[in-house]
Amino acid sequence: MVWLINKKIDMKIKITESQLKRLIEKQTIEEAWYNDVLDAIKNSAPVQKVKDIFKDVTGIDFDEKETVDTPPSKSDVSKKIETIKKDVEKELDKNKEEKKDKEEKKDKETKSKDGLTVVIGGISYATKDWMRGEWKKVGLSTDNVEFINYNDSQKLENLKRDNNVTKIMGFSAGGRLVWKEIESNPSKYSFIGLIDPTSPRVVNSLPKNVHSLSNSSNWSGYPSIQRNLATMEKSGVLTKTKLPHKEIPKAFFEKYESDLD
């Protein structure tokens, strides 16, 4: 930011880089404006970048305090404007990238510190966006929560690598990925959820941090999965519900809201 002095009204005017950019883009630089700017720069301490931009337009080195007898022609200015616009856009893009990188780094640090929750959807309608909708219906915050699809196994691995994933749950086909986590390293999570999950096998027990809600009756089209779920529901390994398949995610989130918030 630079303070320019407008002699005509004898007051200081703040000129930001974005305002300067707009002036250049609109090609509103005229002879009187050039001279006022030069006078202002001689009597102020503008940032170097602003000096450089004006030097590109006028060809004047402000530090040498040259004068403008004849301002550059409009055609010369137009040519230089195109170059400056590209340079400015390049710098703006660079700033955006740097800001994005800082935000992503901050987001990762926050997720690492507070712990990331991963919610995995199923096939057909049960996409990650649908799961997010069911989650939000309960009033749960989506901060530090990643919603992924059932076939995003590589994304899950990336999330585990780059973040401190402390809670994970999967609905329907997404249950396959959660079963793998239960088999490999369940103790790394504070909360694991099986939501009417695809279950390729029967287990006799589950760690205490695993919570479930299922209805084997919803799986009549998949006999082997239905048998596995029914066996685990009967033994008490899984928690039985009478709800239709589509209603179970919301019911699960409601039941464990205090653990998930």
Domains, the chain: 2-105 (no CATH), 115-260 (3.40.50.1820)
Banded pLDDT at 44 (limits 50, 70, 90)? very low
Distance (Å, whole) CA 83 – CA 142: 44
Lowest mean pLDDT across 30-39, 119-128, 200-209, 248-257:
30-39
CA of residue 158 relative to chain centroid, distance: 15
- At residue 101, the pLDDT reads 80
Higher pLDDT, 45 or 165: 165
Whether residue 116 contacts residue 146, with contact meaning beta carbons closer than 8 Å, is answered with: yes
Outline where DSSP puts E strands in the chain. 2-6, 11-15, 116-120, 145-148, 165-171, 191-195, 210-213
With a cut of 50, say whether residue 14 has pLDDT above it.
no
| Closest by CA position to 240, among listed 216, 208, 207, 211 | 216
- At residue 253, the pLDDT reads 97
Banded pLDDT at 65 (limits 50, 70, 90)? very low
- DSSP annotation of 240 reads B
- At residue 260, the pLDDT reads 93
Distance (Å, whole) CA 229 – CA 219: 9
With a cut of 50, say whether residue 185 has pLDDT above it.
yes
- At residue 117, the pLDDT reads 96
Strands 11-15 vs 2-6: parallel, antiparallel or unpaired: antiparallel
Lowest mean pLDDT across 28-42, 70-84, 93-107:
28-42
Distance (Å, whole) CA 75 – CA 57: 11
Whether residue 81 contacts residue 107, with contact meaning beta carbons closer than 8 Å, is answered with: no
Whether residue 238 contacts residue 214, with contact meaning beta carbons closer than 8 Å, is answered with: yes
Rg, Å, the chain Cα set: 31
With a cut of 90, say whether residue 223 has pLDDT above it.
yes
Banded pLDDT at 26 (limits 50, 70, 90)? very low
Listed in sequence order, the residues at least 6 apart from 129 whose beta carbon sits closer than 8 Å to its beta carbon are: 147
State the sign of the Cα–Cα–Cα–Cα dihedral 179, 185, 186, 190. negative
Taking CA atoms, 232 is separated from 80, 162, 197, in Å, by 75, 34, 12
- DSSP annotation of 193 reads E
Banded pLDDT at 68 (limits 50, 70, 90)? very low
The size of the chain, in residues, is: 261
